[in-house]
Protein backbone atom coordinates (compact mmCIF):
# COMPACT_ATOMS: atom_id res chain seq x y z
CA UNK A 1 0.00 0.00 0.00
CA UNK A 2 1.38 3.43 -0.99
CA UNK A 3 0.27 6.79 0.34
CA UNK A 4 -0.14 9.60 -2.17
CA UNK A 5 -0.89 13.31 -1.76
CA UNK A 6 -2.45 16.00 -3.89
CA UNK A 7 -3.31 19.63 -3.28
CA UNK A 8 -6.94 20.48 -3.93
CA UNK A 9 -9.07 23.59 -3.69
CA UNK A 10 -11.96 23.65 -1.27
CA UNK A 11 -14.45 26.13 0.15
CA UNK A 12 -14.10 27.55 3.64
CA UNK A 13 -16.16 30.07 5.52
CA UNK A 14 -15.67 32.82 8.07
CA UNK A 15 -17.99 35.24 9.83
CA UNK A 16 -17.56 38.89 10.68
CA UNK A 17 -19.10 41.17 13.27
CA UNK A 18 -18.76 44.92 12.91
CA UNK A 19 -18.22 47.04 9.82
CA UNK A 20 -14.94 47.27 7.90
CA UNK A 21 -14.23 50.83 6.86
CA UNK A 22 -12.18 53.95 7.38
CA UNK A 23 -13.11 54.05 11.07
CA UNK A 24 -11.82 50.52 11.78
CA UNK A 25 -8.94 50.61 14.26
CA UNK A 26 -8.79 46.99 15.49
CA UNK A 27 -9.27 43.67 13.73
CA UNK A 28 -9.76 40.61 15.93
CA UNK A 29 -9.28 37.18 14.35
CA UNK A 30 -10.99 34.77 16.76
CA UNK A 31 -10.60 30.99 16.53
CA UNK A 32 -13.17 28.71 18.14
CA UNK A 33 -12.58 25.60 20.21
CA UNK A 34 -13.04 21.92 19.40
CA UNK A 35 -16.56 21.01 18.31
CA UNK A 36 -17.77 24.60 17.90
CA UNK A 37 -18.91 26.48 14.82
CA UNK A 38 -17.59 29.93 14.02
CA UNK A 39 -20.94 31.71 13.91
CA UNK A 40 -22.03 30.40 17.31
CA UNK A 41 -18.64 31.14 18.81
CA UNK A 42 -18.74 34.70 17.53
CA UNK A 43 -22.01 35.24 19.39
CA UNK A 44 -20.10 34.67 22.64
CA UNK A 45 -17.83 37.59 21.72
CA UNK A 46 -20.57 40.05 20.80
CA UNK A 47 -19.63 42.25 23.75
CA UNK A 48 -16.52 43.24 21.78
CA UNK A 49 -18.65 44.78 19.04
CA UNK A 50 -19.18 48.10 20.82
CA UNK A 51 -19.20 50.41 17.81
CA UNK A 52 -15.71 51.79 18.43
CA UNK A 53 -14.08 50.67 15.19
CA UNK A 54 -13.50 47.02 16.05
CA UNK A 55 -14.00 44.31 13.41
CA UNK A 56 -14.30 40.68 14.54
CA UNK A 57 -13.40 37.90 12.11
CA UNK A 58 -14.20 34.28 12.98
CA UNK A 59 -12.80 31.63 10.62
CA UNK A 60 -14.24 28.15 10.92
CA UNK A 61 -12.14 25.01 11.24
CA UNK A 62 -11.83 23.07 8.01
CA UNK A 63 -13.07 19.77 9.46
CA UNK A 64 -16.75 19.42 10.41
CA UNK A 65 -18.35 16.43 12.08
CA UNK A 66 -21.50 15.34 13.91
CA UNK A 67 -21.26 15.88 17.64
CA UNK A 68 -23.66 13.05 18.39
CA UNK A 69 -24.56 9.82 16.66
CA UNK A 70 -28.12 10.11 17.92
CA UNK A 71 -30.54 10.58 14.97
CA UNK A 72 -32.64 12.86 17.17
CA UNK A 73 -29.77 15.30 17.73
CA UNK A 74 -27.42 15.73 14.80
CA UNK A 75 -25.65 18.90 15.82
CA UNK A 76 -22.51 19.73 13.85
CA UNK A 77 -19.20 21.07 15.13
CA UNK A 78 -15.81 21.79 13.62
CA UNK A 79 -12.20 21.37 14.62
CA UNK A 80 -8.84 22.62 13.46
CA UNK A 81 -6.93 19.35 13.41
CA UNK A 82 -6.62 15.86 14.83
CA UNK A 83 -3.59 13.69 15.43
CA UNK A 84 -4.17 11.94 12.06
CA UNK A 85 -1.91 13.51 9.42
CA UNK A 86 -1.48 16.41 11.83
CA UNK A 87 1.44 18.19 10.15
CA UNK A 88 -0.47 18.49 6.88
CA UNK A 89 -3.53 19.75 8.73
CA UNK A 90 -1.44 22.39 10.53
CA UNK A 91 0.05 23.56 7.24
CA UNK A 92 -3.44 23.71 5.73
CA UNK A 93 -4.97 25.83 8.45
CA UNK A 94 -2.00 28.18 8.70
CA UNK A 95 -2.32 28.85 4.96
CA UNK A 96 -6.10 29.13 5.32
CA UNK A 97 -5.82 31.75 8.08
CA UNK A 98 -3.28 33.66 6.01
CA UNK A 99 -5.84 33.65 3.17
CA UNK A 100 -8.60 34.97 5.45
CA UNK A 101 -6.23 37.70 6.66
CA UNK A 102 -5.44 38.65 3.06
CA UNK A 103 -9.14 38.75 2.17
CA UNK A 104 -9.95 41.03 5.10
CA UNK A 105 -7.16 43.44 4.21
CA UNK A 106 -8.27 43.84 0.64
CA UNK A 107 -10.84 46.19 2.20
CA UNK A 108 -8.75 47.77 4.97
CA UNK A 109 -5.49 49.66 5.28
CA UNK A 110 -3.29 47.40 7.40
CA UNK A 111 -1.10 50.31 8.51
CA UNK A 112 -4.07 51.93 10.26
CA UNK A 113 -5.21 49.02 12.42
CA UNK A 114 -3.90 46.67 15.09
CA UNK A 115 -4.43 42.95 14.59
CA UNK A 116 -5.40 40.74 17.51
CA UNK A 117 -5.56 36.93 17.33
CA UNK A 118 -7.65 35.29 20.05
CA UNK A 119 -7.82 31.53 20.28
CA UNK A 120 -10.13 29.69 22.65
CA UNK A 121 -9.44 26.12 23.79
CA UNK A 122 -8.15 24.22 20.71
CA UNK A 123 -8.11 27.57 18.94
CA UNK A 124 -5.34 28.75 21.28
CA UNK A 125 -2.89 26.30 19.72
CA UNK A 126 -4.23 27.32 16.32
CA UNK A 127 -3.52 31.04 16.73
CA UNK A 128 -0.14 30.27 18.32
CA UNK A 129 0.96 28.35 15.26
CA UNK A 130 -0.55 30.90 12.88
CA UNK A 131 1.13 33.85 14.60
CA UNK A 132 4.43 31.97 14.75
CA UNK A 133 4.47 30.25 11.37
CA UNK A 134 2.17 32.20 9.04
CA UNK A 135 2.87 35.21 6.86
CA UNK A 136 0.33 37.49 8.58
CA UNK A 137 1.58 40.14 10.99
CA UNK A 138 -0.18 39.79 14.33
CA UNK A 139 0.20 42.53 16.93
CA UNK A 140 -1.38 40.72 19.85
CA UNK A 141 -1.94 37.04 20.66
CA UNK A 142 -4.50 35.91 23.24
CA UNK A 143 -4.53 32.31 24.44
CA UNK A 144 -7.83 31.72 26.24
CA UNK A 145 -8.46 28.42 27.96
CA UNK A 146 -5.78 26.74 25.86
CA UNK A 147 -2.06 26.21 25.92
CA UNK A 148 0.91 27.07 23.78
CA UNK A 149 1.34 23.90 21.69
CA UNK A 150 4.30 21.83 22.94
CA UNK A 151 5.45 21.10 19.38
CA UNK A 152 5.83 24.77 18.45
CA UNK A 153 9.60 25.19 18.27
CA UNK A 154 10.59 28.32 20.17
CA UNK A 155 14.33 27.64 20.07
CA UNK A 156 14.86 28.34 16.38
CA UNK A 157 13.01 29.75 13.43
CA UNK A 158 10.65 32.73 13.43
CA UNK A 159 8.04 31.61 15.98
CA UNK A 160 9.68 32.89 19.17
CA UNK A 161 10.49 36.29 17.68
CA UNK A 162 6.97 36.73 16.38
CA UNK A 163 5.43 35.75 19.70
CA UNK A 164 7.77 38.13 21.54
CA UNK A 165 6.44 40.91 19.34
CA UNK A 166 2.87 39.70 19.72
CA UNK A 167 1.93 41.04 23.16
CA UNK A 168 0.95 37.61 24.39
CA UNK A 169 -1.86 37.32 26.93
CA UNK A 170 -2.70 34.07 28.73
CA UNK A 171 -6.31 33.89 29.98
CA UNK A 172 -7.74 30.98 31.94
CA UNK A 173 -10.39 30.13 34.51
CA UNK A 174 -9.12 29.04 37.89
CA UNK A 175 -11.60 26.13 37.77
CA UNK A 176 -10.85 25.13 34.17
CA UNK A 177 -10.68 21.34 34.07
CA UNK A 178 -8.38 21.43 31.04
CA UNK A 179 -6.03 24.26 31.97
CA UNK A 180 -4.89 22.76 35.23
CA UNK A 181 -2.28 24.36 37.51
CA UNK A 182 0.28 22.01 35.94
CA UNK A 183 -0.59 23.24 32.42
CA UNK A 184 -0.39 26.84 33.61
CA UNK A 185 3.02 26.24 35.19
CA UNK A 186 4.36 24.48 32.08
CA UNK A 187 3.17 27.31 29.84
CA UNK A 188 4.66 29.96 32.12
CA UNK A 189 7.98 28.12 32.20
CA UNK A 190 8.20 27.81 28.41
CA UNK A 191 7.43 31.47 27.90
CA UNK A 192 10.03 32.55 30.47
CA UNK A 193 12.69 30.18 29.11
CA UNK A 194 12.36 31.67 25.64
CA UNK A 195 12.14 35.26 26.73
CA UNK A 196 8.56 35.77 25.60
CA UNK A 197 6.88 38.45 27.71
CA UNK A 198 3.25 37.83 28.58
CA UNK A 199 0.37 39.08 30.62
CA UNK A 200 -1.67 36.63 32.65
CA UNK A 201 -5.41 37.03 33.36
CA UNK A 202 -6.81 34.30 35.59
CA UNK A 203 -10.49 34.59 36.48
CA UNK A 204 -13.00 32.84 38.69
CA UNK A 205 -14.65 30.36 36.36
CA UNK A 206 -14.13 27.28 34.27
CA UNK A 207 -13.65 26.45 30.59
CA UNK A 208 -15.74 29.33 29.31
CA UNK A 209 -15.76 32.77 27.75
CA UNK A 210 -16.43 35.49 30.32
CA UNK A 211 -17.90 38.76 28.99
CA UNK A 212 -16.45 40.67 31.95
CA UNK A 213 -12.96 39.34 31.24
CA UNK A 214 -13.38 40.18 27.55
CA UNK A 215 -14.09 43.77 28.52
CA UNK A 216 -11.01 43.79 30.77
CA UNK A 217 -8.96 42.36 27.93
CA UNK A 218 -9.88 45.01 25.38
CA UNK A 219 -9.41 47.80 27.92
CA UNK A 220 -5.78 46.81 28.49
Q: What is the pLDDT of residue 7?
A: 86
Residue 6 belongs to a domain: no
Question: Which residues does residue 172 pair with via DSSP β-bridges, in sequence order?
Answer: 202
Q: What is the pLDDT of residue 109?
A: 93
Percent of the chain past pLDDT 90, that is, above it, reads: 80
Strands 63-66 and 76-79: antiparallel
Q: What is the pLDDT of residue 155?
A: 86
Q: Would the pTM count as exceeding 0.85? A: yes
- pLDDT tens digits, one per residue of 61-74: 999 989 887 777 78
With a cut of 80, say whether residue 1 has pLDDT above it: yes
Distance CA(188)–CA(108), nearest Å, equals 35
Average pLDDT estimate for 141-152? 94
Distance CA(59)–CA(15), nearest Å, equals 6
Find the domain containing 25 and state its range.
14-219
Distance CA(126)–CA(163), nearest Å, equals 13
Counting the structural domains of the chain, the total is 1
Residue 104 belongs to a domain: yes
CATH of the domain at 151: 3.40.50.1820
Distance CA(42)–CA(109), nearest Å, equals 23
Distance CA(136)–CA(119), nearest Å, equals 15
Least confident of 58-62, 67-71, 140-144: 67-71
- pLDDT tens digits, one per residue of 71-129: 777 889 999 999 999 999 999 999 999 999 999 999 899 999 999 999 999 999 999 99
Question: CA distances (Å), 151 to each of 83, 86, 111, 139, 155, in order?
Answer: 12, 11, 32, 22, 11
Residue 5 belongs to a domain: no
With a cut of 90, say whether residue 37 has pLDDT above it: yes
Residue 209 belongs to a domain: yes
Amino acid sequence: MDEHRITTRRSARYYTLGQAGSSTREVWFVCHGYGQLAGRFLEKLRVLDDGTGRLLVAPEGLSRFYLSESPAERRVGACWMTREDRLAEIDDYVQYLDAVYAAVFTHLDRTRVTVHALGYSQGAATVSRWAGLGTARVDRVVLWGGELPPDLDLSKGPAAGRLRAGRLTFVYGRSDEFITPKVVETTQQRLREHGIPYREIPFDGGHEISPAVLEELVAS
